[in-house]
């Protein structure tokens, strides 16, 4: 559990099969309303790692604090930044679709208890693996394609384990400047 701007934040991942997208959104909305939390579901295959989603989440909080947010909803702002897109409508490409999905949930609430209860209810909807297992499933080639990372960029950086994640975080950092 992270605490960002006095809000409790949890990241959890799993696999979910969505038969009806509208039904799935209604379930997520009911969890959000029941525990007064923000729940944002993302395509886990396109999240480069913990630092990527944590940075996007922190940046979303900062944008709201500084009144520089593009979205009116914190969850959508997190999605927008995680996707590296300045335009909200393009950011939905990092969301979930009907069918089987590797999913990542960002849960934000004012208390540890509300976030935990929301997590418990979400785990009834999807098979939760925990965040560590999610990192093992990340598809580096899919991430490179989604974020338009070039071979030249990869070659120009340190060939350490986090090269792709660092390049993704760079895109997230520049999202509000490259419109």
pLDDT per residue as tens digits for the range 66-122: 999 999 999 999 999 999 999 999 999 999 999 988 899 999 999 999 999 998 888
CATH classification of the domain holding 157 = 3.30.2380.10
Asked if the structure places residue 131 within a domain, the reply is yes
Query: When comparing pLDDT for 29 and 137, which is higher?
Result: 29
pTM: 0.90
pLDDT of residue 128: 64
Overall domain count for the chain: 1
Mind listing the pLDDT tens digit for each residue in 120-174?
Answer: 888 877 776 655 555 555 688 899 999 999 988 888 876 555 688 999 999 999 9
What domain range includes position 120?
Answer: 2-174
Average pLDDT over residues 57-66: 95
CA distances, 46 to each of 52, 101, 103, 134, 156 (Å): 10, 11, 9, 11, 22
Angstrom distance (rounded) from CA 173 to CA 179: 12
The average pLDDT across 19-39 equals 94
């Amino acid at each position: 559990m992270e605490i960002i701007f006095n809000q409790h934040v949890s990241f959890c991942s799993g696999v979910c099969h969505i038969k009806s997208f509208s039904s799935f959104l209604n379930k997520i909305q009911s969890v959000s309303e029941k525990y007064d939390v923000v729940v944002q579901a993302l395509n886990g295959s396109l999240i480069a790692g913990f630092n990527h989603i944590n940075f996007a989440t922190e940046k979303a909080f900062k944008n709201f604090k500084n009144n520089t947010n593009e979205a009116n909803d914190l969850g959508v702002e997190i999605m927008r930044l995680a996707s590296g897109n300045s335009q909200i409508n393009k950011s939905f490409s990092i969301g979930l679709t009907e069918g089987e999905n590797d999913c990542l949930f960002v849960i934000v609430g004012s208390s540890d208890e509300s976030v935990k209860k929301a997590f418990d209810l979400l785990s009834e909807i999807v098979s939760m693996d925990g965040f560590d297992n999610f990192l093992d499933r990340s598809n580096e080639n899919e991430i490179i394609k989604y974020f338009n990372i070039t071979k030249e960029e990869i070659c120009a950086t340190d060939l350490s384990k986090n090269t792709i994640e660092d390049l993704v975080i760079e895109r997230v950092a520049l999202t509000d400047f490259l419109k």
